[in-house]
Structure 1
Amino acid sequence: METLQKIAVVIPSFKVKGQILDVISKIGPEVNRIYVVDDCCPQETGKYVSEHCTDLRVTILHNPVNLGVGGAVMNGYAAAIQDGMDIIVKVDGDGQMDPRLIKQFVAPIIDGEADYTKGNRFFDLEEIHAMPKMRLFGNAVLSFMTKLSSGYWDLFDPTNGFTAIHRDVAKHLPFHKISNRYFFETDILFRLNTLRAVVIDIPMDAKYGEEESNLKISKIVGEFLAKHLRNLSKRIFYNYYLRNMSLASIELPLGVLMLAAGTVFGVSHWISSMDSGVPTPAGTVMLSALPIILGTQFILAFIGHDVAAVPHRPFHLKVQFKNHGRDQCKD
C-alpha cells in the first residue's frame, strides 16, 4: 500500500478572522497544501490571511458570493483535486477542531480501511459534558435521522465537520447536487452511501470556546426533516430497487402496507364503536392487531438488513484496482 500520500486541508472561512491564524499554525508538516476558502466573508478573512500568514503551503480561494459551508468546501475539494492532492481534510476555521488530529483522520484512508473519516465527539462519555445540553439533544436527534437517511448506522455526530476524504471518492461526488449550507455534512453522507463508500468515526473531544455557533437546531429541524425524508426515499429506491433486489425489497413495502391497513381498519372500527357505544368484538380487534404486528416485524426485518448492509469495502480501492487493470490492458 502506497503511504506517500499528498494531504491537503480545506478551511471554509466565514467570520473566523480572530481564530484562523491559530488554526493554520497548528497544522503539522504532514500536510502539503492548505486552502483557505473565503466564503465572501464580511471580515475579509482571506485578505487577512494573505497579509499576515507566512506559511507557504497556504492558498487563498475567494467565493464571489456566500455559498455556505458546503459550497466553500466543494470549491476547496475541486482545487485540491486539480492540484493532485490524494487526501483532503476539512477543518473549520473557528478553532473548535484540533488540527493536530489530522494524522488520525488520514491514517485509515492511507491504510485502505476507509474512504471518508468523520469526527465523533460522543465517543468519550467523560468528555461530552463539555457540550451544551441543548446541542447534545439536538445532535442525538439529528444523528438518528442521519442513520436512517444515509444508511450509515454505525456513525454518530452528524453535524461534526472535521472530515477527511480520498480524492478518488471526492471526484465521484455530484458537487452541484450536494447541499451548500448546514445540511452539507449530512447530505454528503447520503451521497457517499450511493457510491458504497466506507465511512468510519474518529474519536475526538468536544471543544467549545467563546465563539457562538451559527447553527440553531430549532430553526433547521423542519428543513432537515424534509431533506432527510427525501434522501431516505432516494436511498431506498437506489439501493433496493434500482441497483439490487433482495428479500428486503419485499419486506419494506409489505410491512408498510400491512401496518397501514391494520391501523386504518382498527381506527375506523374504534371510532364506530365510540359513536355507537357498542364494544368492538374480539375478532375485529385481532383482525386489526395481526397486520399491525406482522407489518412491524417486516419493517424491523428490513431495518436489520439495512444495518447489516453498511459498506465495508473501500470505494477508492475499487477505483484504483479498476484503473490498474486498464493500465495493464494498455500495456
Structure 2
Amino acid sequence: MLDKSSIKGSKENKSARECLIAVVIPCYREKSKILDVLLKIDSTIDKIIVIDDACPEKTGEYVAKNSIDPRVLVVTHSQNQGVGGATISGYKKALELNSDVIVKMDGDGQMDTKNIGKLIKPILNGDADYTKGNRFYSPDNLSTMPKSRLIGNLLLSFASKMSSGYWRIFDPTNGFTAIHNKVLKELPLDKISKDYFFESDMLFRLNITRAVVCDIPMKAIYADETSTLKISKILMPFSKKHIINVFKRITYNYFLRDFSIASIELLASIILILFGVFYGTQEWLISSQTGIPATAGTVIIAALPILVGSQLFISFLNFDVNYEPDKPIHNKL
C-alpha cells in the first residue's frame, strides 16, 4: 500500500500528503482486464483517468457502467490516436484536474499496481522529474519475457540512449511511468509521437528540458499472450525517428543552447574523419588504376586524420554520457 507519510516531500511548499496523484490508463481492446486493474489501484491514488482510444470493444463505456469507483473518469476518443495520443489526452485531463504527479500505466494487467508507489516516491522526494520502469534490472526476471520482446528492447534501448541522451536509462519502451506536472507542462505535448514511439520520444523531449529521469526496477509480467512486438515492422520507422532525434538533440544541446569544447571536438572529428576517408579513397583509386603503390607519406596523411578524428569523437561521446541531467528541474519551475 502506498503510504504518503513515508515520503519526505519535495523541496516545494506542497507536502507529499497534499500532492494529488492521478493514474492515466490508455485502453484499446482491454475490456476483459481493465476492471481488475482498476480494483488493484491503491486507495491513496486521487484520480484514475481511463482513455478509450476508439476501442471496438467500447472499453470506456464498459468501465463507466461497471466501475463504482468515484475516482474513475473516462475520456473517449472518436478516432483511434495510438497509445501516445491516448496517453497525451490523459495527461491533459490530469493537468486540468491539477494533478501534481501523473502516473501512466497500461490496462492489460501486465503492470503491477504495487509499483506505483515506487514510481512516485523519487518525484515527491525531489530526486527525479520523471520515473519509468526497468524490467531488465534483474536478469532473473527476464526468463518470463518473450524472446522477441527481449531482443527488440535490447536494440531499441541502445538506439534510445543515443537519441535521448539518457545513457544510463534502459528499457525505453516501458510504459509504466510517472512525471511531475510542472515538467509535463514544459513539454510540447502536441509534437510528441502518438504511436508506439511515444515513450522514446518522451525521453528525447525530457532531455531537451534537462529533466532528471530515473529507472525503477520492476518485474516483467506476462501471461500466455503472444508478443505484438514485430521487429521487422518497427525497425525502419523507429530507426528513422531515432536518427532525426539524435541530430535534433545534438544541434540544440551543443550548438544552440550551448557551445563548448565538446562542440569543437564533434565538429573537428567529423571534418578530420571525412577528410581521411575521402583522401584515402581517392589515393587508393589512383593507386589501383596506375599500379603504383601509395607512399608512406600518403598513407599517413590519410590515416592520421582518421585516428585523431576518432579520438576526438570518443572524447565527445564521453562528454555526452556525462552531460546527462542530474539535477531535478521541477523545484525550479
1:91 paired residue number: 105
Instruction: Quote the Cα distance in structure 1 between the aligned partners of 2:173 and 2:299.
Output: 44
SS, match of residue 215 in structure 2: strand
Change in Cα spacing, 1:252 to 1:27, as seen in structure 2 (3 Å) is: same
Moved over 6 A (4+): none
1:142 paired residue number: 156
1:112 paired residue number: 126
Instruction: Quote the Cα distance in structure 2 between the aligned partners of 1:131 and 1:287.
Output: 51
2:67 paired residue number: 53
SS, match of residue 18 in structure 1: helix
Contact 2:135/2:217 (CA < 8 Å) preserved in 1? Answer: yes
1:238 paired residue number: 252
Please state how far the C-alpha of 1:146 moved relative to its aligned partner. 0.7
One-letter identity of the residue aligned with 2:208: T
Matched ranges for 1:159-178 at <5 A: 159-178=173-192
One-letter identity of the residue aligned with 2:16: T
TM-score in terms of structure 2 length: 0.93
- Per mean C-alpha deviation after superposition, the further-off stretch among 132-141 and 25-34 is 132-141
Instruction: Quote the Cα distance in structure 2 between the aligned partners of 1:225 and 1:197.
Output: 24
- Per mean C-alpha deviation after superposition, the further-off stretch among 282-291 and 245-254 is 282-291
Q: Structure 2: give runs of 5+ residues left out of the alignment.
A: 1-8, 10-14
1:25 paired residue number: 39
Deviations along 1:294-315, one digit per CA (max 9) or x if unpaired, are 1111111111111111111111
Aligned partner of 2:262 among 245, 248, 259: 248
Instruction: Quote the Cα distance in structure 1 between the aligned partners of 2:221 and 2:75.
Output: 27
Q: Structure 1: give runs of 5+ residues left out of the alignment.
A: 320-331
Deviations along 1:197-241, one digit per CA (max 9) or x if unpaired, are 000100011111123344322111111111111111111111111
1:3 paired residue number: 16
Instruction: Quote the Cα distance in structure 2 between the aligned partners of 1:257 and 1:138.
Output: 34
Contact 2:146/2:227 (CA < 8 Å) preserved in 1? Answer: no
2:291 paired residue number: 277
TM-score in terms of structure 1 length: 0.94
Instruction: Quote the Cα distance in structure 2 between the aligned partners of 1:129 and 1:272.
Output: 55
Contact 1:182/1:215 (CA < 8 Å) preserved in 2? Answer: no
1:123 paired residue number: 137
Taking only aligned residues, the RMSD between alpha carbons, in angstroms, comes to 1.2
Give the fraction of aligned pairs with identical amino acids, expressed as a percent: 51
Deviations along 1:87-114, one digit per CA (max 9) or x if unpaired, are 0000011111111110000000000000
1:158 paired residue number: 172
